[in-house]
């Protein structure tokens, strides 16, 4: 049995918030999928509404408050991330983007991420592909194939066969599948070497083996 930590970033501004509701459903789905394989998941919620002033202060001063530092550490130290935002003007909210502007640029490298959004109607659903997925690809995260968009009407049914429930369950299972691969040590039976704790995908530094520019010039 393996224990994983999943940070859940919710960018909803209202209270109660449909964005937080979707985030909680996704977190429950990840717990169920992990439990089916004998693993456990600790969910760490990060509610951006409560950090709005701290995020702005950090953008202006470069120094996070204690509360914001705790949230940033939760995201950086988690094994995986669920990120949910409301749709504003066809994209993610300014608060959501501002939070990820102050996240360490290397904190999400290789980290499994499930992206999701809420909006008034299904016509906004493509923002998952033209806004959210490119953002996390830029941050070098590993984004699960299924993004989840929930329109207002989708919350009217929580039946097991509903479209939203199916998407939530599928996305949760995909995140757990990535978690399992990212956290699994190298199999000694396959490599012929003794198994040792492996580096997680996000720990790999793409600049570890750079050739110095002067050396490249000498090759000419």
Mean of per-residue pLDDT scores for the chain: 86
Name the phi and psi angles at 145, rounded to 5: -60, -40
CA of 81: how far to CAs of 2, 40, 61, 137, in Å?
A: 17, 15, 26, 13
Average pLDDT over residues 184-191: 36
Q: Which residues contact 113 (CB under 8 A, 6 or more apart)?
A: 80, 81, 82, 83, 136, 141, 142, 143, 144
- Give the pLDDT score at 186: 34
Pairing assessment for the beta strands 3-10 and 40-47 based on DSSP bridges: parallel
Is the pLDDT reported for residue 192 higher than 70? no
Domain edges within the chain: 3-183
- Give the pLDDT score at 198: 37
Q: Under DSSP, is residue 123 helix (H, G, I), strand (E, B) or coil?
A: helix
Q: Which residues contact 79 (CB under 8 A, 6 or more apart)?
A: 4, 5, 6, 111, 112, 179, 182, 183, 200
- The CATH architecture of the domain made up of 3-183 is 3-Layer(aba) Sandwich (3.40)
**Residue 142 in tokens:** 């590993």
Per-residue DSSP letters for 164-217? HHHHHHHHHHHHHHHHHHHHPPPPHHHHSS---PPPPGGG--TTTTPPPHHHHH
Global model pTM greater than 0.95: no
Is the pLDDT reported for residue 185 higher than 50? no
Lowest mean pLDDT among 102-111, 122-131, 151-160: 151-160
């Amino acid at each position: 049995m393996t224990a994983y930590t999943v940070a859940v970033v919710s960018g909803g501004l209202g209270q109660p918030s449909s964005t937080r509701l979707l985030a909680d459903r996704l977190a429950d789905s990840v717990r169920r999928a992990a439990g089916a394989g004998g693993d456990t998941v600790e969910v760490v919620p990060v509610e951006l509404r409560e950090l709005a002033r701290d995020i702005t202060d950090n953008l202006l001063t470069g120094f996070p408050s204690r509360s914001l530092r705790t949230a940033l550490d939760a995201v950086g130290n988690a094994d995986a991330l669920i990120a949910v935002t409301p749709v504003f003007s066809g994209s993610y909210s300014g608060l959501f983007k501002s939070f990820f502007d102050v996240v360490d640029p290397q904190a999400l490298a290789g980290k499994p991420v499930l992206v999701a959004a809420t909006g008034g109607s299904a016509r906004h659903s493509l923002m998952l592909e033209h806004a959210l997925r490119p953002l996390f690809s830029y941050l070098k995260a590993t984004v699960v194939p299924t993004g989840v968009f929930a329109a207002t009407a989708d919350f009217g049914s929580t039946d097991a066969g509903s479209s939203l429930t199916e998407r939530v369950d599928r996305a949760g299972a995909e995140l757990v599948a990535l978690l399992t691969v990212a956290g699994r040590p190298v199999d000694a039976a396959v490599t012929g070497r003794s198994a040792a704790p492996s580096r997680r995908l996000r720990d790999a530094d793409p600049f570890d083996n750079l050739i110095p520019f002067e050396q490249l010039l000498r090759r000419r």
